[in-house]
Amino acid sequence: MILTKDQKEMYDGKFGEGASKALKILMGIGKAFGAKRMVEVSKAHISLSNQEGDLWFVEQLYKAGAHCRVAPTVNPAYDYEYFSKITDIDGHDKDVIVRTIDTYRKLGAILTFDCTPFFEQNVPRFGEICSFSASGGSVYVNSVIGARTNREAAQSAMCSAITGYTPEYGMLLDENRKGDILIDVKADIKTQFDYELLGYYTSIKMGPEYNMPVFSGIDKATASDEALMDIGTQLNIHGVVPMFQILGVTPEANTMKDAFVDGNPKHVIEITNEDMEKAYNQISRRTGKVDFAILGCPHLTINTVKEIANMVDGRKLVGELYLFTSSTTKDLADRMGLLKKIEDAGGHIIINSCVDQPIWGHLKGGSGVTESPKCAYYTTRRDLEFKVRSIPECIEAVLSGEIR
């Protein structure tokens, strides 16, 4: 691999053992993917997992004297002080999170604890080279903004933040940003939940041999920021779809010629209203009692918090309601009087936290509802069981205590 003067000096230890180690790890990744050189990154985001492996890795780098050249934002972990009040937090889990946060702070990370950094705090520009981990975040950055990132691990994104470099391969190269399959949407796609179902079902219907879907037939007027975030998150639940495009909506797909090599997809499939019904039945058909709702995977925007606040205004919840969002959005909600409406109804806005953390002991055995197939999928390992519905249906379910 060809290295610049700065990179050679970093490799040789001029900037400390930690930076040298981080660069060597990135070079190893680059070698595995055939990268010819390392390129500068100007933004980074790390999906810190709050797990032992991640902690071990960042502690090694810190002990070796590493510090971030490009300050990265970080994904949510969990607010252990808040959750200690409502559930049993294992002493080991608490130790891991306290040490993780402390190490990230000392390495120079920006402790946003938010999984939608592309809306606030860490917004890349078109064409900017970044290093984003987080399955939903990397897809949004590539697809909707048109910045360039590979789907990094927390560890490789941290190495990029420390060195300021990433190996040039994959989604950083023009030739890898073209679509391979055209998704001809015949279904009626109107709501945010329709986009979630579309993302969920497309990843199943297109099969594992394709991973760069380009959608046609979607009305630009329905493509809100939230809808585009949700379709990408659901497409990439399994981490295999680095980017999607929507003709006439996302910036690298104004025409078929932009979206595909020579304007030609390798394969075409249709998504019909029958497919959407199948998707709905697969993840939503169960009915019955509802004890709690967990919404905000990924974190809710202020627009969605506002919708929810207006739905519960002046009413009392029968089940428990947990809304996950960023601290910035919670501050806004407070200032706008939305937090009061939600808390008066008996709901909670939770910040700095991820649904997939060891915080749900008190809900085990109950019946939950969520708007996010990703939340339902990830939390099976936490022994939580969810029905998936649109946000208005979730809210009606916790207001009445049941779903039909």
Alpha-carbon distances, residue 160 vs 42, 126, 287 (angstroms): 9, 19, 46
Question: Of 140 and 165, which has the nearer Cβ to ligand F3S?
Answer: 140
Q: How far is the CB of 136 from ligand F3S (least distance, A)?
A: 5
Among 30, 72, 124, 136, indicate the residue that binds ligand F3S (CB under 6 A): 136
Q: How far is the CB of 31 from ligand F3S (least distance, A)?
A: 30
Among 21, 45, 330, 374, indicate the residue that binds ligand F3S (CB under 6 A): 374
Q: How far is the CB of 324 from ligand F3S (least distance, A)?
A: 6
CA 50/CA 154 separation, integer angstroms: 10
Q: Does 75 bind ligand F3S (CB under 6 A)?
A: yes
Least Cα distance to 49 among 162, 149, 164, 134 occurs for 134
Q: How far is the CB of 235 from ligand F3S (least distance, A)?
A: 13
* Residue 265, C-beta contacts closer than 8 angstroms, at least 6 positions apart: 179, 180, 181, 182, 214, 256
For residue 77, the 8-state DSSP code is B
CA 327/CA 349 separation, integer angstroms: 9
Q: How far is the CB of 232 from ligand F3S (least distance, A)?
A: 11
Question: Of 37 and 382, which has the nearer Cβ to ligand F3S?
Answer: 382
- Phi, psi (degrees; rounded to nearest 5) at 161: -65, -35
Question: Of 116 and 163, which has the nearer Cβ to ligand F3S?
Answer: 116
On the 0-12 / 13-18 / 19+ scale of CB atoms within 10 A, 212 is buried
For residue 386, the 8-state DSSP code is E
How many other CB atoms sit within 10 Å of the CB of residue 32?
Answer: 10
Q: Interhelix angle for 154-163 vs 17-32, to 10°?
A: 120
CA 98/CA 112 separation, integer angstroms: 15
Strand partners, 320: 292
Q: Which positions from 320 through 359 interact with ligand F3S, judged by CB under 6 A?
A: 324, 354-356
For residues 6 to 45, the per-residue mask of contacts with ligand F3S, x marking binding by CB under 6 A and - elsewhere, is ----------------------------------------
For residues 78 to 117, the per-residue mask of contacts with ligand F3S, x marking binding by CB under 6 A and - elsewhere, is -------------------------------------x--
CA 69/CA 159 separation, integer angstroms: 10
Question: Of 140 and 210, which has the nearer Cβ to ligand F3S?
Answer: 140
Q: How far is the CB of 137 from ligand F3S (least distance, A)?
A: 8
Question: Of 230 and 396, which has the nearer Cβ to ligand F3S?
Answer: 230
Q: How far is the CB of 90 from ligand F3S (least distance, A)?
A: 19
Among 30, 76, 124, 213, indicate the residue that binds ligand F3S (CB under 6 A): 76
Among 269, 378, 382, 402, indicate the residue that binds ligand F3S (CB under 6 A): 378
Q: How far is the CB of 116 from ligand F3S (least distance, A)?
A: 8
**No. of helices (H) and no. of strands (E), the chain:** 16, 17
What is the total count of residues that contact ligand F3S (CB under 6 A)?
A: 13
Q: How far is the CB of 115 from ligand F3S (least distance, A)?
A: 3
Tokens linked to 363: 């809900």
Q: Which positions from 269 through 328 interact with ligand F3S, judged by CB under 6 A?
A: 297-299, 324
Residue 214: its H or E element: strand 213-216
CA 287/CA 116 separation, integer angstroms: 31
On the 0-12 / 13-18 / 19+ scale of CB atoms within 10 A, 367 is buried
Question: Of 148 and 374, which has the nearer Cβ to ligand F3S?
Answer: 374
Q: How far is the CB of 33 from ligand F3S (least distance, A)?
A: 25
How many other CB atoms sit within 10 Å of the CB of residue 190?
Answer: 12
Q: Does 234 bind ligand F3S (CB under 6 A)?
A: no
The binding site for ligand F3S (CB under 6 A) comprises 75-76, 115, 136, 297-299, 324, 354-356, 374, 378
